[in-house]
């Protein structure tokens, strides 16, 4: 079976700094794969490269077998490759219901309609509301996004991505800034998402990574140091040295 997403020999440098050095990996359909690595390792950059927000200097990215290396980001999204952001990137003055409905309407091609009232798109609105319910933020969905609690905004990040009906979801530190006791719950919600959905997530909290990932990639200095099952990663000396050993993150 073809991989949901594959990268082959991805390279990227910012000036003399190599942020992606010959990165290759494959994500089988439905996998929960974690990407770990110290600050500045190039994790966010890798997501930017995969989604087309940055162009690689070389290499090839395939989405379900199709070469998307030179495709603009919004077209990759429409083909099912969707990301969230490490730093909230939301619509501050829209409420969550509007924001998610907007994403649903864009997907359904209803966003070009300028002569119908939004409320006539009942199906899209209900779908948006269901997504908000599944992420447990439906009760605040009539409030402006900028008024929401930080944790609720993190969930809205994911809700927006889900509204596009992704095949591959790239989560950039979904629990960043969320208190440790709440991040477990957030990952339980993520883990409950459809098994057909392939999830690639960046996370610093090793407890969470070991609990939810079926496979782990370790990125150090822009290069993939290692990949393996949680047990293999936990046992690896090099990982202990470069990452677990000096784990400065909470």
Partner 1 sequence: MSLATPADIGPTEFLAARARWRPVEIVFWLAAITPYFIAADYLQLAGQILITGLFALSLDLILGYAGIVSLGHAAFFGLGAYATGIASKHGWGEPLTGLLIGGLVAGVVGFGASFIVARFRGLALIMITLGLDQIVAEAANSMGWLTGGADGLQGVKTWPILGLFRFDLYGVTAYWYALIVTFLFFLLVRRMVNSPFGLSLQGIRENSTRMLAIGARNHAHVRTVFTIAAFIAGVAGALLTETTETVSLETLSFQRSADVLVMLILGGVGQLYGGLVGALIYMVARDQFSDINPQYWYFWIGLLLVAVVVFLPNGIVGGVKKLGGLLGRRGT
Ligand X SMILES: Nc1ncnc2c1ncn2[C@@H]1O[C@H](COP(=O)(O)OP(=O)(O)OP(=O)(O)O)[C@@H](O)[C@H]1O
Residues near partner 1, by CB under 8 A: 51, 53, 72-75, 77-78, 82-83, 85, 89-94, 97-99, 101-103, 105-107, 110-119, 121-122, 124-126, 128-129, 139, 141-144, 160-161, 163-164
Is 126 or 207 the residue whose CB approaches partner 1 more closely? 126
R_g of the chain computed on alpha carbons: 18
Is 37 or 174 the residue whose CB approaches ligand X more closely? 37
- One residue of 6, 86, 134, 164 binding ligand X per CB under 6 A: 86
Angle at 121 between CA 144 and CA 90, to 5 degrees: 30
- Quick one: what does residue 14 bind among partner 1, Mg ion, ligand X, none, with the CB cut-off 5 to 8 Å set by partner type? ligand X
Main-chain dihedrals φ then ψ at residue 151, nearest 5 degrees? -60, -35
User: What token pair was written down for 148?
Assistant: 């929401």
56 binds ligand X per the rule CB under 6 A:
no
- Quick one: what does residue 158 bind among partner 1, Mg ion, ligand X, none, with the CB cut-off 5 to 8 Å set by partner type? none
Q: How far is the CB of 82 from partner 1 (least distance, A)?
A: 7
Main-chain dihedrals φ then ψ at residue 183, nearest 5 degrees? -70, -30
The answer to whether the beta carbons of residues 229 and 216 sit under 8 Å apart is yes
Which of the residues 11 through 50 are near ligand X (CB under 6 A)?
14, 19, 37, 39-45
Is 56 or 80 the residue whose CB approaches partner 1 more closely? 80
β 215-220/32-36 pair status = parallel
48 binds Mg ion per the rule CB under 5 A:
no
Distance of CA 91 to the CA centre of its chain: 18
- One residue of 32, 44, 54, 145 binding Mg ion per CB under 5 A: 44
The whole-angstrom separation of Cα 177 and Cα 185 is 14
The answer to whether the beta carbons of residues 219 and 19 sit under 8 Å apart is no
Greatest Cα pair distance, the chain, in angstroms, is 63
Which residues on adjacent β-strands are paired with residue 228? 216
- Quick one: what does residue 150 bind among ligand X, partner 1, Mg ion, none, with the CB cut-off 5 to 8 Å set by partner type? none
Is 42 or 96 the residue whose CB approaches ligand X more closely? 42
The C-alpha torsion from 5 through 175 and 23 to 39, rounded to 10°, is 170
Is 122 or 195 the residue whose CB approaches partner 1 more closely? 122
Give the interface with ligand X as residue ranges (CB under 6 A): 14, 19, 37, 39-45, 86
């Amino acid at each position: 079976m073809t991989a949901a997403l594959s990268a082959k020999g991805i390279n990227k440098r910012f000036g003399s700094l190599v942020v992606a050095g010959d990165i290759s990996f494959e994500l089988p359909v439905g996998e929960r794969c974690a990407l770990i690595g110290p600050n500045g390792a190039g994790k966010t950059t890798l997501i930017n490269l995969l989604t087309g927000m940055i162009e690689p200097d070389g290499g090839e990215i395939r989405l379900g077998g199709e070469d998307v290396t030179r495709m603009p980001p919004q077209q990759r999204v429409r083909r099912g490759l969707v990301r969230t952001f490490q730093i909230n990137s939301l619509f501050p003055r829209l409420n969550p219901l509007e924001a998610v409905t907007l994403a649903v309407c864009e997907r359904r091609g209803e966003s070009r309609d300028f002569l119908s009232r939004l409320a006539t798109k009942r199906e899209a609105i209900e779908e948006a509301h269901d997504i908000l319910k599944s992420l447990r933020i439906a009760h605040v969905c009539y409030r402006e996004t900028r008024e929401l609690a930080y944790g609720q905004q993190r969930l809205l990040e994911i809700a927006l991505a889900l509204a596009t009906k992704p095949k591959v979801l790239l989560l950039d530190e979904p629990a960043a800034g969320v208190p440790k006791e709440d991040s477990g719950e957030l990952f339980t919600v993520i883990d409950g998402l459809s098994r057909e959905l392939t999830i690639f997530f960046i996370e610093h909290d090793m407890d969470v990574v070991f609990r939810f990932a079926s496979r782990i990639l370790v990125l150090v200095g822009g290069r993939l140091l290692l990949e393996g099952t949680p047990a293999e990663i936990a046992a690896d000396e090099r990982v202990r040295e470069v990452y677990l050993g000096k784990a400065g993150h909470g």
